[in-house]
Structure 1
Amino acid sequence: MTAPPASDPMFSIVILTLNEEQNLPATLASIRDCDDIVVLDSGSTDRTHQIARAAGARVVVNRFENFGQQRNFAHTDIPFHHDWVFHLDADEQFTPELFAECVRLSSENPPALDGFFVAPRMIFRDRWIPRCTDFPAYQARFAHAKRFRFIQTGHGQREAPDMRLGKIQANYLHNLSAQSESELLDKHLRYARQEAAAFLARATDPAPLNRRIRSADPLIRRRALKELSHHFPARGFLRFLYQYIARRGFLDGAPGFAYCRIMAKYEHWVSQEIHRQRRARAST
């Protein structure tokens, strides 16, 4: 059988932004070899647009509804120069290994796959903290623009159920060091409200959840356990025990302890928001 012809060896990159003048230069520097960079902005009022254009990126503005909608808008409304697109955030950077892998996969253009999972290396206080961030926690980031679609879930997004995905072993960097602890806490408080609303909107069937918890796929298992955890009391304390003790986050040093403490607060806020939103629904 004759192999299919090689496709365009390069890929496009889309970066979601909102007032990212502090983070964007490092992100753009990490992808300077890409010939098609699009900054998809939600209405920045700082120098985000000027910084992007100075680096040779195109700027497209679209009102932000949620991450799933914004990433799908990129696929349906932005004329990318290449078939394959990597979704990047402004506090994330490419590694040389990831860039080379994306070039290779773009050239192969696998017809049996719509996208790829990629795991971030979380950097906090200038240190990689793999244990307390469940590394590798895969996310769908490298996608065929014409075939791939996202759905919104909680405060983020995931792949639509019928998407066919592979895994890339190289990683990108998610740098939390540029944000102060108070900024991270403010962001996770917003996330907690969205996570609680998404949980209450889902009608969960216990039987499929039980099957997913026993799945051989670690990604399916992780998502099922997260869904199950919403039913537990003292979720913040349990999250801290899981990340810091069970996952050996204590080996990530002082940054690991600080990160686990922030995530424990986040889980506590999610529980509070679930109860608050339930009471609000019951009173209407």
Structure 2
Amino acid sequence: MISTLILTKNEEIDLPGCLESLFWCTDIHVFDSYSSDATIDIALKAGVTLTQRKFDDYASQRNAALNQLDFKFDWVLILDADERIPPALIPQLLSNVQQAKPSVNGFRIQRRDYLGKSWLKHAQISPLYIRLVRRGKASYHRAINEVLQVDGLVQLIDGHFDHYPFSKGFSHWLNKHNNYSTMEARRWIEEQNGAEQFSLVKALSSKDFSERRFHQKGLFYKLPARPLIKWFYMVFGRRAFLDGWAGLTYATLQAIYEYLIVLKTNEMIDVTPVEVLEVVPATLAKKFRRLQTSYFRMQSKQIEA
């Protein structure tokens, strides 16, 4: 009734738990980016279908899996290895696909992020994700922090699945987001160079959650001092302090991630070779430096205060 897709790259720590939570699924596909650890052995011993493809970017990798794999069922559940399906969600998944009207091609599910054993109830910024789609009716966009677009209606499933982003430790999370920040900085420059238009109206009122998040993120990247803005928003706006030490830690890590993107974007604009700089409008560099100047002025005022 439901096939499952899991993307992997060196997931020997998390894959066993993910597969264990899918005991009810009879068609599991592991789409691997040539892991060098025991991921392949774990998948083969579990009897799942294993396919490998060289990784280029997240959207391309996920689209290749959705388009090329021979799923047995019309509905595909999309998971990462550090995610789990709790028993209470299983009947909700099955009943919703059974009752889905032809116009419904996707389902959004609440995700609960954990730091250790602590649920980041308040600190988590995006709790809803499209993870169950009808085959051939969904595709990913954006190379990093990809957006899943569904051709048809998307409904909400009553229930949640669990996510453990720190299962491999803080060092792994930091290394992963160091790579993410490089990709985000490149994407930011490309979007600005391509004159991508972000709409405040869509960011605030779009009925499509993915579209709303896309425009929110695009506008957020234009703000000066956004690492500080994000920290204050998470800690006080979303009340991450109610999650205790875990919430404050997570907010701080997210602010560090944003600051890495700012630093790398600045670095790419300043040190990119001349032939590459020619494709980046001069106005972009000036605009970024104005934002940077505002940011450091704000920091200076806070220090003086």
TM-score by length of 1: 0.88
Which of 262, 267, 274 is the aligned partner of 1:271? 262
2:86 corresponds to 1:92: no
Kindly provide the amino acid, as one letter, of the partner of residue 186 in structure 1: N
Is the partner of 2:107 in helix, strand or coil? strand
Q: Which residue pairs with 1:15 in the alignment?
A: 6
Bigger Rg, structure 1 or 2: 2
- Structure 1 distance, partners of 2:14, 2:190, is 34
1:240-279 correspondence to structure 2 within 5 Å: 240-279=231-270
Which residue identity does 2:4 align to in structure 1?
Answer: I
Contact 2:137 2:151 in 1 (8 A): no
Fraction of identical pairs, as percent: 29
In structure 1, what residue type is equivalent to 2:129?
A: Q
Residue 210 of structure 1: how far off its partner (Å): 2.2
What's 2:199 paired with?
A: 209
Deviation at 1:135, TM superposition (A): 5.0
Q: Which runs of 5+ in 2 are unaligned?
A: 276-305
1:224 aligns with 2:215: yes
Structure 1 72/221 Cα, relative in aligned 2: closer, same or farther at 3 Å?
Answer: closer
Contact 2:103 2:152 in 1 (8 A): no
Q: Relative to structure 2, which stretch is displaced further, 190-199 or 107-116?
A: 107-116
Q: Equivalent residue for 2:289?
A: none
Is contact 1:121–1:128 with CA below 8 Å preserved after alignment?
Answer: yes
How far residue 177 of structure 1 moved from its aligned partner, in angstroms, is: 3.4
Moved more, 197-206 or 45-54: 197-206
**Which aligned pairs between 1:16-31 and structure 2 lie closer than 5 A?**
16-31=7-22
Separation in 1 of the partners of 2:274 and 2:63? Answer: 36
SS at match of 2:146: strand
Post-superposition Cα deviations, 1:165-184, rounded to whole Å, max 9, x if no partner, equal 22223221111231211211
Runs of 4+ in structure 1 over 4 Å off: none
1-structure distance, mates of 2:6, 2:183: 22
Separation in 1, partners of 2:107, 2:56: 24
Q: How does 1:123-162 map to 2 (within 5 A)?
A: 123-136=114-127, 138-151=128-141, 153-160=142-149, 162=151
Quote the Cα distance in structure 1 between the aligned partners of 2:85 and 2:55: 24
TM-score by length of 2: 0.83
Whether contact under 8 Å (2:147, 2:214) holds in the other structure is no
| Pairwise CA RMSD | 2.0
Are residues 145 and 19 of structure 1, via their aligned partners in 2, closer, same or farther at CA, if it must alter by over 3 Å? Answer: same
Deviation (angstroms), 1:279: 2.4
2:9 and 2:196 map into 1 onto residues whose CA distance is 37
Aligned residues: 272
Is 1:175 the equivalent of 2:160? Answer: no
Q: Is the 8 A contact 2:138 2:150 kept in 1?
A: no
Residue in structure 2 matching 1:107, options 98, 120, 129: 98
Partners of 1:218 and 1:109 lie apart in 2 by 19
Q: Hey, what's the Cα distance between the residues in 2 that align with 1:158 and 1:110?
A: 24
1:196 and 2:185 matched:
yes
Match of 1:44 in 2: 35
DSSP-derived class of the 1:194 partner = helix
Task: Tell me which amino acid in the other structure corresponds to 1:145.
Answer: R
Consecutive unaligned residues of structure 1, counting only runs of 5 or more, are 1-9
Q: Is the 8 A contact 1:154 1:199 kept in 2?
A: no
Bigger drift between 214-223 and 51-60 goes to 214-223
**Does the residue aligned with 1:59 lie in a helix, a strand or coil?**
strand
Q: Identify the structure with the greater helix proportion.
A: 2
